[in-house]
Each structure stands twice: as C-alpha cells, then as structure tokens.
Amino acid sequence: MAEQSMNDRDARGGWRPAENIKLPPIYAWPLRPLAIIKWFVGFPGYLWPFNALVLLIAVFTWTFLTPGLGQMKALEFWWIGLLLIRNLFLTATFFGGLHVYLYKYKKQGDKLQFSNRPFAKNKNFHFGDQVRDNMFRTLCYAVPIVTVYEAATYWLFANGLLGFLPFADNSSSFWIWLVVLLLIMPVVHSTHFYFTHRLLHSRPLYKRVHRIHHFNIEVGPFSGLAMHPVELAIYFSTVCVQWILALHPLNALYQLQFAVFNAAMSHTGYDKILMTDDVGVESNSYFHYLHHKFFECNYGGTIAPMDQLFGTFHNGSMEAQERMQQRMRDRLG
Ligand SMILES: [Zn+2]
Ligand SMILES: [Zn+2]
C-alpha cells in the first residue's frame, strides 16, 4: 500500500486503500502455481493469520471448554448453560477487545480507517446509541442463537444422528476428510453468506429484517452481529452444511466460531489492525465496508467468487462504481 495514501481523506472523511480489491489467485486464468502457493501459505494469506487463529480457538474450545459428547446425549440445562457462558465470554472478549483497541483507546487513531465519522446516536437504535444497540444485539440475541445451533450439533452427534457419511469407519479417510472440511470452511461460509444475504435484500425481508443491520452506516466490530434475530438464525444456519458433511463436531464448531469472529473482523472499519506503525493484521473488511456504503454490491466475500459470477462485485474502483450504478438504473427501467 502506498505510504502517502494512509491518511488521505475525501471531503466527507472517507479513506480507501490504494489498491483495488482482488480475488485470490485460485480464480485467475491461466493458473499461476507460485502465486497460488504464496497466497495459500504466505503471511498474510489464506491460512494465516485469521483462519489459523480461529482454528486454534476452535480446537482449544473443543478440547478444554466443551463437555464430552457422552454427557450431551440428553438436552440438559447445565451443559447448554455452560456453552452459553463460554460463548458470551469468548465473544465479549474478542469483539470488546477490538472495539476498545480501535475505538475507545483509538490505538491507531484513524490510520487506515475507512471513515472517521462517529457512530450514530438516533432512534433507529436501542438506547438511542449505535454501539450500545450493537452490543445488546450481539450478546443478547447472537450469542444465544449461535449457542442453540452449537448445542443442537452436539446433541445430534451424541445421538448418532450426524456424522454418517460412509467412510466414517476408516481412520485415514476420516482424518483426511476432517482436514478437507477445515480447509474449505471459509468457502462454505462465503457461499452460504452470499445466497442468504441476497435473499435478505429481497424487499419483504429487507424491510422487516435486514435493514436493522444496515442501520450501521459507519461500522465497528460490534456491527458484525448487530442483526434481527431472524437474520441471525439464517446467518448461523451455515452450520447445516457441516451437519450434512462433517464426521466430527470440530468441523461444525469451526464453522460457527468463524461465523462469529469473522463478523467482527469484517466490520472493524479499518483496513488493517496495526500493532506497530507498520506491522499489523489485515482485516479484509474493505470488501464488506463497500456493501454497507452502497448496498447493491459485495453480498458475499472474496474467497468464493459469487459476486464476480453474478455481476455484483465491487473492487473499489470508479469503473466498478459505474457498473453498479448502471445496474441500478437498469433495474429501475
Ligand atoms: Zn455487515
Ligand atoms: Zn446487506
């Protein structure tokens, strides 16, 4: 990124990365094997840091913070309550940590921040305050709903109702399949998000459900799960793909935890979370920021090229902006 562009803002306080958004090299033709390997194992890349961090959290959660499957055969208050408490703790820590770092203590000021306008205070939000409303929705709606999906997953596995693909008995194919599903998890997330998100932009669902999320014009980590409960139920239903495919509950847990933590990352409002003046973690959130800004583009993510395929991809350029406006004019006739 060009150094001089870090603090250049337009008249409305907007800032954009110097480079346009690109799809991963796996979707470029002709194939460039070296670029693909670099993207896959490089830092930052597909594996590191974010996907690996969430996997680490999932493995830790499964090993140390989840009762044994044998104890979850019957739906009982104690273990579902335990899942709820640890999910509240993990979510509050991750979302709260990002929010405090970026917005309370302003550790990197407005460096690499897409917009420096403040969060809203108006009657669209509970308590008349965007951040409080977002926190309320995240902790009181999103966490209980994701916990219901998680508890259902374990209960179904514990009772032998999931994990029935035919190669479950062979130990090497079991482990290969587990790793394959870990690797394609973000693609599942992005594809499911694209189609459900487009559905949410249909007129009746938008008016009743999805507009709550779009009250967030300026975004912060807690905007990620600031949704109507119906939208949250749709959003976390991504785990149902793992109900069909997975042989081990870890795959489902990874899918759910990614849906939680990625929501915070994709709404940070910053292009990169800086640890020092120039070392930091990419948030990859400009893509979704453009969706909040323009509504009619970037419904999914970049790891599954759905927006590209269906003509809704906006890479941040003037040409993409013109294409999107033309699409809107065509639709209005
Ligand atoms: Zn959003
Ligand atoms: Zn939307």
Q: pLDDT by residue (tens digit) across 78-122? A: 999 999 999 999 999 999 999 999 999 999 999 999 999 999 999
In terms of Cβ atoms closer than 10 Å to its own Cβ (0-12, 13-18, 19+), residue 160 is: exposed
What is the pLDDT at residue 194?
Answer: 98
The yes-or-no verdict on residue 295 having pLDDT over 90 is: yes
User: What confidence tier does 210 reach under pLDDT thresholds 50, 70, 90?
Assistant: very high
Task: Provide CB contacts within 8 A for 43, sequence distance 6+.
Answer: 49
Closest listed ligand to the CA of 268: 1
What does pLDDT average to over the chain?
95
What is the pLDDT at residue 6?
Answer: 58
Q: How far is the CA of 73 from the centre of ligand 1 (A)?
A: 36
Taking each helix axis from N to C end, the angle separating 249-265 and 77-99, rounded to the nearest 10 degrees, works out to 30
Q: How far is the CA of 267 from the centre of ligand 1 (A)?
A: 6
Q: Which of 89-103, 163-177, 202-216, 227-241 has the lowest mean pLDDT?
A: 163-177
Percentage of the chain modeled with pLDDT above 90: 89
Q: pLDDT by residue (tens digit) across 132-142? A: 999 999 999 99
Closest listed ligand to the CA of 296: 2
Q: How far is the CA of 51 from the centre of ligand 2 (A)?
A: 23
Question: Which single residue is written with the structure tokens 């917009």?
Answer: 115
269: left (phi over 0), alpha (psi -120 to 50) or beta: left
Whether the bond between 49 and the residue before it is cis, its omega within 30 degrees of 0, is yes
